[in-house]
A and B are shown apart, each in its own frame.
Chain A
C-alpha cells in the first residue's frame, strides 16, 4: 500500500511538462539558427580562400572550357545544371558559365592548369606557354610550359619591387623633404635626379618580361609579369600546400587594402577603422554616460522632473539609428564642423576639413546613439550599491562627494562596463548613421600614422559594416564579390566578439577583485 501511495505522489507537476519543453525547444531552436548562420557565413567566407581545383571540360558542341565548379542546381526531368567560374575576363568578357551536365562530354583535372591572380581583369585560368622578354614576344611559340621559370621570374620581379620600394622609402623621400625645406640645394637636386634614374631603371626592368598564356580553347594572351600578383597550379598542389596557401590568403585578406573597387584584396583599413571608431566611441560615451547617471541618481532631487528625464533617456534608446545620423550630419558635421573650419581652417576653404564627415563626427554620433544604454546600466549599478556602504563611508566623516568617488563609483565600475559592452554591441554593427557622418567607400589611408598629430580625427575611414554593403551592392560583379561579403561579415562578427570579450574580461576582473558582493 505504501509503495502505491509513494508512486501516486510522484506524479508529474501539473502543466509544467509542456511549458518546460516549449521553453527548452525555443532555446534549442534559437541556438540552432544562430549556429547555422555562423556556420553558413564561416563556410562561405573562409572557403573563398581555399585554392580549389580547376577542371577542363569538353562540350558536346566542341567548345573547351576550364574553370571552377561554383554550384549545381537541378533542372526539370532529372537534368542538372552547373555554374562554372571560368575567369579570363579579357578574353571572354564573361567569367560565369551555366552548363547543362548532359552537355559535358569529358572532364579532367590536368596538373598543368594554372591560375593567375592579376592586377587587372581578375583571374586567369589556363596554361603557361612561355616566359619571355617584352621586346620579342612570340605568340606562336611552341615551347613547353615552364612552371619553374615562371616562379623564378616572379621571385626576381619581387626582388626588384622591394628594391624599388626601399629606394623610394630610404632615399627619395628624405631628399624630397630636404628640397622642400631648401629648394635651392643643388647637391640634393643632383642626388634626387640620380635616384630617380635608378628607380626608373628598376621600373623598366620590372616591365621587361611577359608570360605567354593559352586558354583552354587555345587562344593566346601576352601577359606582363609585372601585373601578376600570384600564380598557382591547384591540381598539382598537395593538401598541405593548399592549407598554407589558404592561410596566406586569409592573412592577406586581413592585412591588405582592397583592390578592384572593393571586389578583391583585403579589408585591413576597414578593420582598423571599425575598431578605432568603436574605441573612440567608448572613450566618449563612458564619461558622459557615467556623469549623467551620477547626476540622475545621486545629485538630482528625486522628483517628477527627474523621473521624466529618466523615462526620456530610456526612450531615446529606441530611436532609429538613422535619425541619429541625420542629427550628427546637421549638428556635428555642418554645425560644429562648419564653424571649426571657419575659425581654424579658413585658408583651406572651400574644401572642408572638419565640415565634412569624419572619424570624430562618426564616433560622436555613435556615442550619442549609445548614451542611453550607458546611462541606464550605470544608474542600475548605482542603485544596486547597498545603502550600508554609503552610510559606512558617511559615518567615517566622508562628504557625499568623497563617498561617491571613493566607495560608490569604484563599486559601480562593473555596471559601467556592462553599459560599455552593450554600447559596443550596438555601435559596432551600425552602418546607417555612419553613411551620413563619415564612412568612406575607399580610404586606404588609415586615420593613424606617423604624421603629427598621429590620430587624424577629421579623416574619413572605412568600416566593415559599410564595406559589406558596398561590396555586395556596388561592385561590378556581385557574384564574384559574394564570398568576400561573407568573409567580411564573419570578420565583423569576430571583431565585435573580441571587443566585447575584452570588456567582459575587464568587468570580470573588477567584479572579482574583492571577492563577491557581501550579503545585503
Chain B
C-alpha cells in the first residue's frame, strides 16, 4: 500500500509553491529535475521547476493548455536541442547523471528516453520496418534476433494479434489507434528506460484510448512512464503521481489519489474541480 503520510524532502530545490508531497526516497527516482527554467527566444515557458520522477511508476503532468507540459516533457530527452531559440537553466538528472553533461551522447540519451507524440507518426515503411527502425540504427543484430524483438515489442504494445499476418504491409494502412500502438511498440523495441507520452490518446476514439491506457498501466513493471494528458479521468485512472503545472510553474506534485481527492492548494482544487465537472 502506498503511504499516505506526507514526507517533505528538505531540499533547496523544493518548489516555491510547495504543494508537493513526495512519498518515495531519492534513490527511487529516475529523473530528477532541479530548478529548470526554460525560455523560447527569451519568452519564459518554464520557471524554476523541480521535481523527481519515480522509477517504474506512471507520472502524469496536467495543467491548462499552454502551461508548459509538453515543454517540460521534451526537455527530458533534449528534443529542444533542435531549436536554436531555446535557452535553459537548471539541471536534469537521469539516474544521477546530468543529461546535458558533455560526455552524454544525445542519441544515446534519446534511445534511453523514448517518446510518443500526440499524433501517431509511423514512418512510411512496413509495420515490421517501423518496429525494427531503432534496432537497425544500433546494428549488430541477427535476423532471428530482430524478428524476436519485433514480435516481443508488438506483443508488449498489444498489437501483435492484429498485425502478425501483415507485417510487410505499410504502417500507414493501420487505423489511428493501431498506429499509436505501433509507435509505442517502436519505442519499446529499443528497450528504453523511460517512455514519455505527450497526450498519446487525444487523437483516438474511446476504445483505442482504453487500450492505450491499459497498455500504459501494464508497462510500468518494465519501465518508467511519464504521461501528459488533458483528461483528468485518464490521469486518475493510469497514473501513480500527478504534477499540476500552471503558467510554467509546478504548482503541486503528489500521489494521484491525494492530488485528486485532497489537493493542498486552492489553485489545484479549482483547476481539478473545474475540469472534472
Contact = CB atoms under 8 A, between A and B. Distances in A.
A402 B134 CA distance: 11
Contact of B170 (A386, A398, A513): A513
A392 B77 CA distance: 12
A393 B133 contact: yes
B65 to A, nearest CB: 19
Contact of A399 (B107, B115, B124): B107
A398 B171 contact: no
Interface stretch (B31-39, B182-190, B259-267): B182-190
Contacts of B134: 396-398
Contact of B123 (A407, A516, A519, A520): A407
Interface string A85-128: 00000000000000000000000000000000000000000000
Contact of A388 (B111, B117, B137, B171): B117
Nearest to A510: B124
A74 B77 CA distance: 85
A394 B110 contact: yes
Nearest to A395: B115
- Of B82, B173, B179, chain A has the most CB atoms within 10 Å of the CB of B82
B111 A514 contact: no
Nearest to B203: A519
Contacts of B28: none
A18 interface: no
B110 A395 contact: yes
A407 B119 CA distance: 17
A407 B123 CA distance: 7
B117 A391 contact: yes
A516 B122 CA distance: 12
B124 A513 contact: yes
B170 A518 contact: no
Given A394-B79, A398-B137, A518 B123 contact: no
B125 interface: yes
Contacts of A389: 121, 123
- Of B107, B108, B124, chain A has the most CB atoms within 10 Å of the CB of B124
A233 to B, nearest CB: 63
Nearest to B126: A514
B137 A514 contact: no
B120 interface: yes
B117 A397 contact: no
Interface in B85-138: 107-108, 110-111, 114-115, 117, 119-125, 133-134, 137-138
B172 interface: yes
Contact of A397 (B84, B111, B124): B111
Nearest to A301: B84
A411 interface: yes
B119 A514 contact: no
Nearest to B170: A514
A396 B190 contact: yes
A230 interface: no
Interface in A245-294: none
A406 B138 CA distance: 13
B187 A396 contact: yes
Interface in A362-405: 386, 388-399, 402
A515 B172 contact: yes
Nearest to B118: A388
A406 B125 CA distance: 10
Interface in A476-495: none
A324 B117 CA distance: 48
A330 interface: no
A397 B107 contact: yes
A410 B124 contact: yes
Interface in A300-338: 301
B111 to A, nearest CB: 3
A365 B124 CA distance: 36
A515 B187 contact: no
Contact of A398 (B107, B119, B122): B107
13 contacts: A390-B82, A392-B123, A393-B133, A395-B79, A396-B134, A397-B111, A398-B110, A514-B125, A514-B170, A514-B172, A518-B119, A518-B179, A520-B119
